[in-house]
């Protein structure tokens, strides 16, 4: 017996929206999604305190067009959110259609992971990042849309230049989801790494009086070092964060080279536990790396400690060759390291002397990884 599926009229309309979205993509409107539509293995909770249906704005909107866009979007999304099985692409297509209809330039559209059930329906945050000024493509303003228990939809705009989270949402976030915590709605945001050093950051927001308020962000503590790093959740929920980044300034560790800017840095992993409305570092350790091996080796040479130097080389001949190169006479704080572009970047470092007119690259070191994750210096010589 063959079973045929009948396409409902509303589903047909959604299909039309999806085709229109494809047309918009072809004509130059970039629409992105960075999040899976669901979070397998996570049991959603049921909110005990419904969020306010107040649709007032966090800050004044720049033009009436933005107000009209938000109101039209609220009405359109309310109809979609009534369907418990509404898909991510349907939400994105509807947002793209409304934006095109209202002549609003879109930077990206993001659908967050479903983490909470309200009246049996999954709650997914929808972020619509707009470009209010065509002449400033990196000046975007994100709108937050989310469904309420009474089947209405609330929204909030974050003005660019006003700090977190707007400044951290110029690009689609790595992770964004809404959850219930002790009867209050909270939002966890892990944006894309930002800034010239690609800082890994985390932002905690709470729904208060119909507005998402920033409760804590990782910039509030100097113990958080996220340059060229990443942050992730540990276990279920978001009470524990794990940060991978450089060694924080408050952690005692051996240093010899300048670890700043685009130069190589030693690696550090730390766990952060939530305590009330903030996160506190509860553990951390240096991850062994070629730079850590080189740092300890050069420091041992400077101190004349041959035993310590031997702990960081594959054979004693490396120490004798380094002494012939006068590496024991290097001055701390005057040298930098980097990975060469034309070599295996995982086990090669170049040493440069940081002088007034720039960096003069003088030496190249090769390392080997031992069992247990320990790096040893295999060879070091002058750069031809």
Helix axes 317-324, 290-303, angle to 10 degrees: 70
Residue 237 belongs to a domain: no
pLDDT digits (tens, 9 = 90+) for 150-187: 878 888 888 766 667 777 888 899 988 888 888 888 88
Percent of the chain with pLDDT over 90: 49
Give the confidence band of 294 by pLDDT, cuts at 50, 70, 90: very high
Query: Which pLDDT score, from 0 to 100, does residue 94 have?
Result: 94
- Give the domain extent around 133: 10-218
**Is residue 52 within 8 Å of residue 148, measured between CB atoms?**
yes
171 lies in the same domain as 296: no
Dist CA 199 CA 202 (whole Å)? 10
- Is the entire prediction scored with pTM above 0.85? no
Q: How many Å apart are CA 225 and CA 245, to the nearest integer?
A: 6
Average pLDDT over residues 327-332: 96
Most confident of 1-15, 17-31, 324-338: 324-338
Residue 280: the pLDDT is: 97
- pLDDT by residue (tens digit) across 344-358? 678 999 999 998 888
**Domain co-membership, 55 together with 192:** yes
Is the residue at 26 inside a domain? yes
Mean pLDDT of the 304-324 span: 96
What total number of domains does the chain contain? 2
Shared-domain flag, residues 212 and 309: no
- The whole-number pLDDT of residue 225 equals 94
Contacts of 117 (CB under 8 A, 6+ apart): 44, 45, 46, 47, 123
Is 258 domain-assigned? no
| Domain termination site, one of 185, 218, 251 | 218
- Residue 99: name the closest of 60, 74, 73 by CA: 73
CATH code: domain of residue 349:
3.10.450
pLDDT given for residue 75 in this prediction = 92
Residue 283 CB: number of other CB atoms within 10 A? Answer: 10
pLDDT at 311 over 70: yes
Residue 101 lies in a domain: yes
How confident is the model at residue 117, as a pLDDT?
Answer: 66
Do 66 and 177 lie in one domain? The reply is: yes
pLDDT in tens, 14-62: 555 555 554 544 344 443 333 333 333 322 222 222 333 333 333 333 3
What pLDDT, on a 0 to 100 scale, did the predictor assign at position 55? 30
């Amino acid at each position: 017996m063959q079973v045929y599926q009948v396409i409902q009229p509303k589903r047909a309309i959604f299909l039309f929206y999806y085709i229109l979205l494809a047309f918009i993509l072809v004509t130059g409107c970039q629409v992105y999604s960075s999040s899976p539509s669901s979070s397998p293995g996570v049991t959603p909770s049921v909110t005990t305190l419904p969020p306010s249906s107040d649709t007032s704005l966090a800050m004044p909107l720049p033009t009436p067009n933005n107000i009209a866009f938000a109101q039209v979007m609220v009405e359109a999304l309310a109809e979609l959110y009534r369907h418990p099985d509404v898909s991510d692409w349907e939400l994105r297509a509807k947002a793209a259609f409304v934006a095109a209809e209202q002549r609003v330039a879109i930077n990206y559209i993001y659908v967050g992971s479903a983490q909470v059930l309200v009246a049996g329906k999954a709650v997914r945050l929808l972020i619509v990042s707009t470009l209010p000024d065509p002449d400033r493509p990196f000046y975007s303003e994100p709108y937050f849309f989310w469904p309420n228990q009474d089947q209405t939809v609330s929204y909030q705009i974050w003005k660019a230049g006003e700090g977190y989270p707007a400044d951290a949402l110029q690009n689609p976030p790595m992770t964004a989801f809404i959850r219930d915590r002790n009867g209050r709605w909270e939002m966890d945001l892990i944006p894309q790494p930002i800034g010239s050093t690609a800082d890994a950051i985390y932002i905690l927001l709470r729904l208060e009086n119909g507005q998402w308020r920033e409760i804590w962000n990782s910039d509030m503590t100097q113990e958080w070092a996220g340059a060229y790093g990443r942050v992730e959740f540990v276990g279920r929920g978001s009470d524990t964060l794990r940060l991978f980044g450089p060694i924080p300034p408050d952690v005692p560790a051996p240093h010899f080279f300048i670890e700043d800017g685009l130069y190589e840095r030693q690696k550090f992993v730390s766990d952060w536990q939530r305590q009330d409305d903030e996160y506190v570092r509860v553990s951390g350790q240096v991850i062994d790396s070629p730079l850590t091996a080189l740092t300890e080796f050069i420091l041992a040479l400077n101190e004349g400690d041959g035993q310590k130097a031997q702990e960081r080389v594959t054979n004693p001949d490396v120490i004798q060759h380094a002494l012939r190169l006068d590496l024991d006479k290097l001055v701390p704080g005057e040298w930098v390291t980097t990975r060469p572009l034309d070599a295996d970047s995982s086990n090669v470092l170049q040493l440069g002397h940081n002088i007034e007119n720039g960096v003069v690259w003088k030496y190249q070191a090769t390392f080997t990884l031992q069992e247990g994750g320990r790096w040893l210096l295999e060879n070091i010589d002058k750069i031809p």
